Chain A
Amino acid sequence: MAIAGTILGRLLKAALTLFAIAVLNFFLIHAAPGDPAAVLAGEAGAADEQMIADLRAQFGLDQPLYVQLYRYVGNILTLDLGYSFRQGAPVLDLILERLPATLILTLTAFWISLLAGVALGVAASARVGKFTDSLITGTALLFYATPLYWAALMAVLVFSVQLGWLPGFGYETVGSGYGGFDRAIDILKHLILPALTLGLFFMAVYMRMTRASMLEVAQQDFVKTARAKGLAPSVIRRRHILRNALLPVVTLAGLQAGQLVGGAVLTETVFAWPGIGRLMFESLAARDYNTILGVFLVSALMVIIFNIITDIVYRLIDPRIGQKA
């Protein structure tokens, strides 16, 4: 019941957020220098008259601003994200075609970074002040300071160009004719470098949070109670400290989702990964604003969905939420 209520509440909030982003998009188009229709069609002059006329009709540019806003938001809420004149296809189709690749990449990177980050954080906190701790903390600091795209380039340089271990380009081997299991293995090989380099930064974030949180929880009274019971240190760490320490990490993971989706733009650019991030990069060069805004909207939607999932997970772990008097 509590969880059903939560989901309903969150969906309502998600709808509002999406609506607000649509409004934001609308004003962004109007904030751009020049005629909005020309902006959407690409640089003025590059677009032919027919395109611009179509866009004017779509926006109703002769109408008052609020009517334009109403139409635009209405279009977006019915999933009409407009037309990409550069690519000659509806933006929604372009995005849907690329979305699976991005989902595979970001979800893999998320799980790798979360699991490795938590594991390393726990390991570091268990040996706080010792060599292992310094090693883990130092490495995390380094990853934390490394630009995603540069890590990706260096990984390509070392593992793909120099060592030749893994492919450094694309989603699968083009023209290989692989099917079924072989294809899956092929994609997996292509996935390793992008997912790892995208996950590095976030792994550092989760590691630092886990370590700090473990150390803080270890100071709390109930841990002393657990020790007074005569429990073994490993049990105390797992059952009492870790479970409580994970709560802020879950919250953080939700907040970081947005960054992960944003980071995918960089990773996909370096690896020519055919996802929506790469689509955004290509649209940047082509000044294809309709597509840029569409990708922006969809990535925000992904974050919203992710946040709802984190919220539910949090409620499953922490009995106090939503039941407090």
Chain B
Amino acid sequence: MSVLSITDMSIALPSGADRPFAVKDCSYEIAKGEILCVVGESGSGKSMTANALMGLLPEGVTVAKGTAEFGGKNILKVPEIEQRALRGDRIAMIFQEPMTALNPLMRIGEQIAEVFEAHKRHTPSERKARALDLVREVGLPDPEKIIRAYPFQLSGGQRQRAMIAMSLALEPELLIADEPTTALDVTTQAQILKLILDLRERRGMAVMFITHDFGVVAEIADRVIVMRHGEIVERGTATEVLENPQHDYTKRLLEAIPTGLVPQSVAVEKAPALEVRHLKKTYYTGGGLFRPRRDVRAIDDVSLTIAKGEVLGLVGESGSGKSTLGRAVVRLVTPDAGEILVGGTDMAALSENDLRAARHKVQMVFQDPYASLNPRQRVMRALTDGPMAKGVPKDAARARARELMETVGLGADAVDRFPHEFSGGQRQRIGIARALAMDPELIIADEAVSALDVSIQAQVLDLLRDLRRQFDLSILFITHDLRVAAQLCDRIAVMQRGKLVEIGPVSDVFLNPQHEYTQKLLAAVPGGGWGKAAE
């Protein structure tokens, strides 16, 4: 008994796009009470399907052919007014970015009650009462207060709960969730996934869950569809697809996922590449004439060492201070107190001028491949500016740049191109080459693979592993993703609210976590159980 049945659906992109169809000849069904995961990397067309079902396709994008049977009607063909009647009532949708998906100027309660209003249900006071019930049902704290709050007063997870409350208002038969947990921290993600599973249980609604993350699939899916370039390449039950993938693409995607198989630490030399001692950094906000000053302890007395040739993973959720720590080590942030010893030099104590001369000792690979290269400079400039500033002759610097581009697998001739000619993964390679060009004693990789699709992520991680062997690199690898950390690192340090709560060899931290927070973090990793099963 299927709620939704899609047959031969194709969605045409406007002329001039990189391919004619966003989605091509797709057919699938979703049964009542079932969770179907639509999986794919960016550009696979997975979100377009959802938009088409909701009648929310961007301008210029049209349904070229096919039907979507829902409640006895082809909802791709019904007039806009009927489609509007379906939206929010029988089909509801939640989105990826909870921070921007709510109207900043309306109270949460008003925004939920609006769903009833749109479909002319209940009196205004009943609407308010029901909004309160919904807020309670999705587990938001202090419901009475929440419905009067504005979105900016809620955290990301709370906003996503509010979005879910809104989507549940009229008990839809189908809920479309478009990457609803991608923007959230891992512990919050776990809570939201659990909420969706609970609601499915209680309400018996069908869920179409769009995601790029096989961990989430393992956690939540009944059935799975894998999409690539707009076509379905694999389908089946969750167990079938995860444990016995047929298509090469699915296999590669699954292989690319760090499985939670914990590698044994490599023995490292004892001489430290980096020693951080009692580092502190506090940020003050507000403090205007009429506002109280607040302080956030971003780094709260942290000490750690990285041995020569070691990769230390620094993990934590957003706001844990892990990025601030990374930026303090390279002195993009000046710490309030403490020492940062790199090869005997205290980076924290250097004056502006001495610092400039010592900069080359620590280099950084950044998160955003689109913002980390100057769009107006050729790659050659990016790779030679630094070495030349520290006194390397121009010819030597240029020769080295070509050599490094070869090393990171882009070819020496690529130095003459501009950043926009490269893909995201390639840009990350350039970023790595730029860091290596300075012959640093330590590299900080700040979420260096987080913005990449999973298959690209795997390639960049492979490259880092190779380089590490080749150059005996010491790396501080900052990430929010425990699975990625496990793949590359020798030791793991866990941060929470500015404090270092646990540090130890990967196997110890993963298999026998001591701190309560580390345990919570590990438990929240989606697909954790499935990863272990594959061991």
Contacts and interface: CB of A to CB of B under 8 A. Distances in A.
* Chain B binds chain A: yes
B289 interface: yes
B222 interface: no
- Interface size range on B against A: 35 or more
B75 to A, nearest CB: 13
Given A229-B118, A325-B294, A221 B95 contact: yes
B105 A318 contact: yes
B290 A229 contact: no
A232 B150 CA distance: 23
A280 to B, nearest CB: 36
B170 to A, nearest CB: 9
Interface string B75-86: 000000000111
A227 B80 CA distance: 12
Interface string A314-325: 000111101111
Given A221-B100, A222-B100, A224-B56, A229 B294 contact: no
Nearest to B98: A221
A229 B115 contact: yes
Nearest to A219: B58
Contacts of A9: 288-290
B56 A228 contact: yes
A220 interface: yes
A9 B104 CA distance: 25
A179 interface: no
Given A318-B105, A320-B104, A221 B54 contact: no
B105 A5 contact: no
Nearest to A221: B100
Interface string B94-132: 010100111111100000001101110000000000000
Contact of B118 (A231, A317, A319, A320): A231
B163 to A, nearest CB: 7
A78 B232 CA distance: 80
A226 interface: yes
A230 interface: yes
Nearest to A220: B100
Contacts of A224: 56, 95, 101
A243 interface: yes
B93 interface: yes
Contacts of A324: 152
B101 A222 contact: yes
A83 to B, nearest CB: 38
A70 B150 CA distance: 49
B48 interface: no
Contact of B88 (A12, A229, A318, A319): A229
Interface in A196-244: 220-222, 224-232, 235, 239-240, 243-244
Interface in B262-303: 285-286, 288-291, 294
A243 B103 CA distance: 10
Nearest to B296: A325
A239 B117 CA distance: 13
Q: Which of B54, B56, B87, B118 has the most CB of A within 10 A?
A: B118
B290 A228 contact: no
A67 interface: no
A324 B288 CA distance: 12
A145 to B, nearest CB: 31
A57 to B, nearest CB: 40
A228 B105 contact: no
B105 A243 contact: yes
B86 A230 contact: yes
Contacts of B118: 229-232, 235
A320 B84 CA distance: 31
Contact of B87 (A8, A228, A244, A325): A228
- Interface size range on A against B: 20 to 34
Contact of A227 (B85, B87, B97, B152): B87
Given A230-B118, A230-B119, A325-B285, A319 B100 contact: no
Interface string A1-39: 000010011001000000000000000000000000000
Interface in B129-184: 150, 152-153, 163, 166-167
A220 B153 CA distance: 19
Contacts of A319: 104-105, 150, 152
Nearest to B51: A224
A317 B88 contact: no
Contacts of B242: none
Nearest to B102: A222
A12 B288 CA distance: 13
B87 A221 contact: no
Interface in A297-325: 317-320, 322-325
Given A221-B95, A320-B152, A230 B105 contact: no
B309 to A, nearest CB: 42
Contacts of A231: 84, 88, 114, 117-118
B171 to A, nearest CB: 14
A225 B100 CA distance: 10
Contacts of A243: 103, 105
A232 B85 CA distance: 9
Nearest to B99: A221
Contacts of B92: 228
B88 A228 contact: yes
A322 B54 CA distance: 37
A109 B119 CA distance: 42
B89 interface: yes
A239 B105 CA distance: 10
Contact of A244 (B84, B105, B163, B285): B105
A267 B95 CA distance: 52
A176 to B, nearest CB: 50
Contacts of B103: 222, 225-226, 239-240, 243-244
Contacts of B163: 225
Nearest to A240: B103
Given A239-B103, A319-B152, 5 more contacts: A230-B86, A230-B118, A244-B105, A319-B105, A320-B104
Interface of B: 54, 56, 84-89, 92-93, 95, 97, 100-106, 114-115, 117-119, 150, 152-153, 163, 166-167, 285-286, 288-291, 294
20 contacts: A12-B289, A222-B101, A225-B95, A227-B87, A228-B88, A228-B92, A228-B93, A229-B88, A229-B118, A229-B166, A230-B84, A230-B87, A230-B115, A230-B119, A239-B114, A240-B106, A244-B104, A318-B104, A320-B104, A325-B286
Top 5 A-B pairs ranked by shortest CB distance?
Answer: A230-B88, A5-B290, A230-B87, A229-B88, A221-B100
